[in-house]
Amino acid sequence: MSTDTIARIRQILAEHAGLEADPQAISVDDDLFDGGMTSHASVNVMLAIEDEFDIEFPDELLQRSTFTTIGRIDDAVTSLQE
Amino acid sequence: MDDGEELGMTIAAQVRPGERLLGIGIDTATVADSLQAAARFGDAYVRRVCSPAEAATLAHEGLARVTGLSRLWAAKEAVTKTLAPSSDDVWPWPAVEILPDGPGGAQTVRLHGHPARLAEQAGVRRLLVADVSDRNSASPSGRDTTVTMVALALGSCPTDDETSTPS
């Protein structure tokens, strides 16, 4: 788990997720949907992550679970960068 | 007639003899959300939400375009709620396709990939969407306007053979 990647994901969440809490203050395992992120906001988060990391999410990763936590997003980003 | 009664009438009018309601979903989208996403992500946003056929039905620009995107989004969400996918179900939004090619320009639902398989497993024979937006929800600028769509998942009524119990 890269600290830099997590920090960049938190910044994207701050801009696009619409969370009730400060993304800097939540755990990597906290459920983002429970924290106020809507499905529509998760699309914005995905697109922002694609821009930030110059990656593209394939269809098989377009699951709600991919975007449920910071940790799951980090896993996806890492796998797509390999 | 209040909004709830009107919604009930809309639903009841859609169910044909021999059909039963398997699921109902409703979703409200705010035009401002689509406006912001389209402004920030442009065509990438449209490609992630819409199939090419859906994108072709959108106005080319302006508020009409983002209102159309909001309507599509709310319809896709409403349909998704009728099918209740799990968190691990693969759900690319263009796979839930809403096209205005029904009688009189009515919207029809076409599912592809995993959403289609999930619907088949659930016994869904027909999916309907209807715009039940509150007519008072339109704002002067259009940005704060909300769009509400309802979706129905319909299956066949069980036959006598299916409902009878062995004696």
Burial class (CB in 10 A: 0-12, 13-18, 19+), B130: buried
Q: Is B113 on the interface with A (CB under 8 A)?
A: yes
In single-letter form, the type of residue at position B45 comes to Y
**Ranges under pLDDT 50 in chain B:** 167
3-state helix, strand, coil in chain A (%, to 5): 60, 0, 35
Return the residue of A nearest to B44 by Cα: A47
**What DSSP string describes chain B?**
--HHHHHHHHHHHHPPTTEEEEEEEEEEEEHHHHHHHHHHHTHHHHHHH--HHHHHHS-SSHHHHHHHHHHHHHHHHHHHHHH---TTSB--GGGEEEES-SGGG--EEEE-HHHHHHHHHTT--EEEEEE---GGG--SSSTT-EEEEEEEEEEEPPPHHHH----
pLDDT at position B14 is: 79
pLDDT at position B137 is: 62
Rounded distance between C-alpha atoms, residue B99 and residue B138, angstroms = 23
Nearest CB to A47; choose among B45, B85, B91:
B45
Residue A34: list chain B partners with CB under 8 A. Answer: none
Band of pLDDT at residue A62, cut at 50, 70 and 90: very high
Residue A49: list chain B partners with CB under 8 A. Answer: none
List beta partners, residue B156.
Answer: B19
Rounded distance between C-alpha atoms, residue B165 and residue B78, angstroms = 35
Residue A34 distance to chain B (closest CA, Å): 13
Residue A17: list chain B partners with CB under 8 A. Answer: none
Q: Specify whether the CB–CB gap between B84 and B23 falls below 8 A.
A: yes
Return the residue of B nearest to A59 by Cα: B92
Inter-chain touch A47–B113, beta carbons under 8 Å: no
Which residue is it, tokens 């959108």?
B58
pLDDT at position B133 is: 87
Rounded distance between C-alpha atoms, residue A28 and residue B49, angstroms = 27
For A:8-27, CB contacts with B below 8 A are none
Band of pLDDT at residue A68, cut at 50, 70 and 90: very high
Tell me what the mean pLDDT of segment A39-50 comes to: 98
Which of B38, B80, B66, B108 has its CA nearest to residue A62? B80
Nearest CB to B48; choose among A47, A65, A68:
A47
Q: Is A47 on the interface with B (CB under 8 A)?
A: yes
For A:51-70, CB contacts with B below 8 A are 51, 59-60, 62-65, 68
List beta partners, residue B96.
Answer: B111
Residue A36: list chain B partners with CB under 8 A. Answer: none
For A14-34, how does the pLDDT look when each residue is reduced to its tens digit (9 = 90+)? 999 999 999 999 999 999 999
In single-letter form, the type of residue at position B37 comes to A
Q: Is B3 on the interface with A (CB under 8 A)?
A: no
Q: Is B96 on the interface with A (CB under 8 A)?
A: no
pLDDT at position B147 is: 94
Rounded distance between C-alpha atoms, residue A68 and residue A76, angstroms = 11
